[in-house]
Amino acid sequence: MSVDLSQFIPSFLEESFEGLELMESSLLNLEAGDHETIHSIFRAAHSIKGGAGTFGFDVVTEFTHLVETLLDEMRDGRREVVQKDIEILLSSVDCMRLLIEAARDKESYDEDKVSKTTKELSQTLASNETTNVTNSEQTTQTVNNASDNQENDELLTYLIHFVPEHDLAKTGNDPLFLFNALAELGELTIKANTSELPALNDIDPQELYLSWDLTLKTSANKEDIHEVFEWVEDECLLEITLADAINQEAPEQTQNLAVEQVQEQVQVQEQVAETKDTPSPDTEQTTTSKPKEKTKAKAKAKVEVSSIRVGVDKVDHLINLVGELVITQSMLSELGNDFQMDNIERLTNGLEQLLQNTKELQESVMRIRMLPISFAFNRFPRLVHDLANKTGKEIELVIKGEQTELDKTVMEQIGDPLVHLVRNAVDHGIEPADVRLANGKSAKGTISLDAYHQGGNIVIEISDDGGGINREKVFAKAVEKGIVEPNNTLTDSQVFDLLFEPGFSTADQVTDISGRGVGMDVVKRNIQSLGGRIQVESAIGKGSCFKVNLPLTLAILDGQLVKVGSETYIIPLISIVESLQVDRELINKVSGDMTLYRLRDENVPILPVYQLFGLATDFTEIDNALLVVVEADGQKVGLMVDDLLAQQQVVIKSLKDNYQQVIGISGATILGDGSVAMILDIPGMIQMALSYAQKKQQSSSEVGEFC
């Protein structure tokens, strides 16, 4: 019977990647003598090897076998846990990941890295004598397989003398089943020997007193027969002889086998040697035969990412809620069938219930997409570990708030910006140990990652106790790059915001860690495209903190509804600084029709929304107008609107599906009355206003804030 197991490959892959993550994080925390951790690392490798073997991912199996052997030695205490081995194991984890991904996508992988690590592993293993044990085991196994294949069509008759120990049954073995298995190999004749059988009174029903002489006519070889008795060999007397052959033949055969075994061993060693230096033929085949599928497989991999694992409890909860919704619906439709005014109270109650159901359902559905941020954080211990090694700095990473949940899509997109910020903290933030000591700090720097919820947002903080950002240096650099005018006076936060300007880099020399072309401006742009913002706080000599503020989800937004003319717009709450009524005293007209509003010590340009969007309204007078002060790109502007309406959560719908991206609009939503309202894109509107202003006043330098 043939069983197709390919349906289990995805779950094996998922499990393997989880296992690799576990291996990685455990290795990073591994201390000598921590047996439980070594055990769990071993188990993870072991499972991957087992599964890979089943699915024929031979390259993975071979490689993982080496890893497992090394881990086994550590587990048994045959090998000390030293840092060097941990490094090798860490890069082995990388290789396993590469190999598994390659197996999944039927793609090629970085052979240099794998062969380098294979070499390191083999060398490490070779330095310990005990390795041989496991190697030879492997060999015997291969021999077994080899003899399996080498089937003989000729029917031979074997005599089997089988004397089990009396307590054989206590391990769950039953001679009857063994004989059944033998009978499947060929024609079996059974003769029981009852001579050991005691008197009836003395019989212990749990013991075996019989022995057997069996005759098996079969095309199978002796190994096959031995295999049937494999589990009982230690608990019985077993003699297997060829009936019609002369006795000498038997030893000859074992001799052959011995030779075979040696040959196999050589072969295995060769194979190991091969993987060391050059990729094995197998690998080569996968690389050469399938280059064309490469792009296709990549696309497939991307699709796979979009699955989500949901706890059964969450699904059950949803089903309950839907159940309630159905009840409410049937109640309402019954009510509607024959509605009379005296039922109005029931109707109101029903609608109230419907509102409640809908709200709960919405929350639960959103919760399905929420994952703890540990999914994004868990790569950082390794990253910081590697970067610390590379820079020669001593760094401790502290992670807090890993259980804080956020939307899967946001999580996927925030990963890279966070990596960049952490790299930056290692590279530019933490000082070298000698500098730290000279400044009276401990030699070891600390980088902390923290996540917490604040209102409808998640805040992620990346902070270091390093040298802090040198305000003067940043400013000078910005002047040098022509980003600001030298006579501008800027607040600290405005200076720090210069870090996010395109083409800005303060490192005295570009390092290969953070100076890789991707600038902080990209980080900022990515965060903004998620509807979030980033702020910097820093104190010289004490360290810096980058605060990333993100919406919990991309599908729902907390918004302020505003009225402009006949239209209702939604301003994302996350970008609103404050709302106020214009005080005539604080208005300053500069250069033509640009109007600035004095908000404490800042001058905020006023953008009348009706002008930007070309709408007709009665509210065109700035005096006493309503201003919603919003912030994006470190730029505050006051949006002039007719009226402030409610604040509410809205579901974001794309305009791109059936139309196209609209400047100044990030999407649309459907309001309670079924009408559509546009959601304002604050950075987009500021851009719009900018180009509007620039067109109007090509040569003005007075616009200050705006340039």
Partner 1 sequence: MANVLVVDDSNSIRDMVSFTLKSAGYQTVEAKDGLEGLAKAQTGSFDLVISDVNMPNMDGIALCGELRKLSNFKFTPILMLTTESSTDMKMRGKAAGATGWLVKPFNPEKLLATIKRVVR
Partner 2 sequence: MDIQDLATDIPVEGEHSIEGIDFITSGEQYLTFMLAEEQYAVDILCVEEIRSWEQPTKIPNSPSYIKGVINMRGIIVPIVDLRLKFNIGEASYHETTVVIVLTYHVDDFSRTIGFVVDAVSDVLNVKENDIQSSPAFGGCVQPQYVEGLINVDKNVVTLLNVEHLQKVEKHTLQH
Q: Is 567 in the site for partner 2 (CB under 8 A)?
A: yes
CB atoms within 10 A of CB 443: 13
Q: How far apart are CA 389 and CA 395, in angstroms?
A: 9
Q: Is 523 in the site for partner 2 (CB under 8 A)?
A: no
Q: Is 61 in the site for partner 1 (CB under 8 A)?
A: yes
Inter-residue contact 622 to 606 (CB < 8 Å): yes
Number of residues that bind partner 1 (CB under 8 A): 45
In this chain, which of 23, 25, 41, 51 binds partner 1, going by CB under 8 A? 51
Give whichever of 498 and 668 is closer to partner 2, judged by the CB atom.
Answer: 668
Q: Which contacts of 610-615 are long-range, i.e. CB under 8 A and separated by 24 or more positions?
A: 610/564, 610/565, 610/640, 610/642, 612/664, 612/685, 612/688, 612/689, 612/692, 613/564, 613/567, 613/664, 615/564, 615/565, 615/566, 615/567
Q: How far apart are CA 19 and CA 366, in angstroms?
A: 28
Q: Which stretch binds partner 1 (CB under 8 A): 136-144, 459-467, 481-489, 606-614?
A: 136-144
> Radius of gyration (Cα) for the chain, nearest Å?
37
CB atoms within 10 A of CB 32: 10
Selection from partner 1, partner 2, none that 403 binds (CB < 5 to 8 A by kind) is: none
- Our answer to whether residue 385 is catalytic in this structure is no
Inter-residue contact 74 to 81 (CB < 8 Å): yes
One of 68, 73, 107, 431 is an active-site residue; which one?
68
Q: Is 230 in the site for partner 1 (CB under 8 A)?
A: yes
Q: How far apart are CA 369 and CA 544, in angstroms?
A: 32
In this chain, which of 40, 91, 135, 506 binds partner 1, going by CB under 8 A? 40
Closest CA to 568 of 678, 668, 674: 678
Q: Which stretch binds partner 2 (CB under 8 A): 106-114, 216-224, 638-646, 648-656?
A: 648-656
- CA angle (128, 130, 133) in 5-degree steps: 140
In this chain, which of 80, 151, 184, 249 binds partner 1, going by CB under 8 A? 184
Q: Which stretch binds partner 1 (CB under 8 A): 180-188, 265-273, 499-507, 629-637?
A: 180-188
Residues 605-644 binding partner 2 (CB under 8 A) are: 612-615
Structure tokens at 402: 């890993």
Selection from partner 2, partner 1, none that 50 binds (CB < 5 to 8 A by kind) is: partner 1
Which residue bears the tokens 């003899």? 147
In this chain, which of 75, 360, 688, 704 binds partner 2, going by CB under 8 A? 688
Closest CA to 104 of 303, 393, 374, 359: 303
- Our answer to whether residue 68 is catalytic in this structure is yes
- Give the CA dihedral 82, 85, 90, 95, nearest 10 degrees: -170
In this chain, which of 17, 21, 37, 47 binds partner 1, going by CB under 8 A? 47
Q: How far apart are CA 520 and CA 539, in angstroms?
A: 19
Number of residues that bind partner 2 (CB under 8 A): 29
- Our answer to whether residue 256 is catalytic in this structure is no
Distances (CA, A) of 72 to 7, 42, 84, 94: 31, 7, 16, 19
Q: Is 110 in the site for partner 1 (CB under 8 A)?
A: no
In this chain, which of 4, 392, 509, 659 binds partner 2, going by CB under 8 A? 659
Q: Is 140 in the site for partner 1 (CB under 8 A)?
A: yes
In this chain, which of 77, 132, 151, 177 binds partner 1, going by CB under 8 A? 177
Give whichever of 173 and 287 is closer to partner 1, judged by the CB atom.
Answer: 173
Q: What is the binding site for partner 1 (CB under 8 A)?
A: 1-3, 5, 8, 11-12, 15, 39-40, 42-43, 46-47, 49-54, 61, 68, 133-134, 137, 140-141, 169-174, 177-178, 180-181, 184, 206, 228, 230-232, 234-235
Residue ranges binding partner 2 (CB under 8 A):
566-568, 612-615, 653-655, 657-660, 662-665, 668, 670, 674-678, 688, 691-692, 695
Looking at the annotation, which residues are catalytic? Answer: 46, 68, 424
